[in-house]
Amino acid sequence: MNYEEYMKRCIFLATKAEGNTSPNPLVGCVVLDSTGNIISEGFHEKYGYNHAERNALLKLNPQAAKDGTLIVNLEPCSHYGKTPPCADLIIEYGIKKVVIGMRDVNPIVAGNGIKKLKDAGIEVVEGILEDECRKLNEVFIKNMTEHKTFVAIKTAVTLDGKIATFNGSSKWITAEKARNEVKNIRNRYDAILTSSATVLADNPSMQHRCNIILDRELKTINKNFKIYNNKRVIVFYDEALYSPEISDIEFVKTPTTNGKLDLDFVLNSLFKMKIMSVIVESGGHLNGSILKYADKIYHFIAPKILGDNTGRSCFDFREVNDINLSYKFQIDETKMFEPDIMLTYYPLKA
């Protein structure tokens, strides 16, 4: 039986819920009858809703699933959370074999779901497309293993690495297809993080369910800026300043280091606020400052050359005199959004 094809289907189903399951993982499930035919599918649609396995099985009469096979990209849960344990329902439905992409990194589960299935006499096959399954839930894995918020950066540049002219002109570097893809990417993350400099220069709307602004001196506290029209806005500012009283904005007093907001404090605060992932959309200074925390970069490149050595760069945060001091990355994927391209890359692990 070609488990890989069924696992690809699970991954596809799981992605339908991107942006809706945090802090839970993305999970898809396929159920086969005893003869190997697909009889049901499901995915975890939203945090607090049924898990993928439960969604798939509850569509069936238990007799139809008896002696069948269940394929799922993440180990079935074994504990009571927002919903009952999926492992128990799998056993109840008489499933004969369970095929799993990866073990759950949540210490509450972490092999306990597999043990429960095996103890019930169910055959368990592990590690099918494990790398793909781990990439699907890279945010969840970091949250669970490091107890930190996942940080992505999105930038759009010319071929010579510029995000704007010397006077700030930047609309539009990329074309419509690339800008539409940015909207899709944003939806995967719990929040967009930007700087007061970007708000002041571009007055972006950055439409999203949560926007975070690093505004040390509270320069943007003005409802005329479009970003404040979003559902939830969080502002980090210098703890030495007064506390603004604007009921629909969340203000967070933040310590400073060398005249800048402490990014360790900001990111630790976001995790405590259950913001499990952020995508940074800003200028070169914040992009550069937060680069050492970055888990992933989406780098759009337009087939244009500005050719101005005073133009603004996408990562502009230091001066070095040794090329060996470069930050190193591993390119994961290249996609065309004509006429532009998008590179996706990760920090190169030592």
Active-site positions read: 53
By CB neighbour count within 10 A (0-12 exposed, 13-18 middle, 19+ buried), where does 249 fall? middle
Q: Are 345 and 332 in contact (CB under 8 A)?
A: yes
Task: Please state, in angstroms and rounded to a whole number, the distance separating the CA atoms of residues 45 and 186.
Answer: 18
Sign of CA dihedral 77, 83, 87, 88: positive
Give the number of other Cβ atoms within 10 Å of residue 347's Cβ.
16
Question: Could you identify the residue written with the tokens 């998008």?
Answer: 342
Task: Please state, in angstroms and rounded to a whole number, the distance separating the CA atoms of residues 185 and 298.
Answer: 9
Q: Are 336 and 177 in contact (CB under 8 A)?
A: no
- Amino acid found at 37: N
Show the beta-strand stretches assigned E in 108-267.
Answer: 123-125, 150-157, 162-164, 191-195, 211-214, 233-238, 250-254, 256-257, 260-261
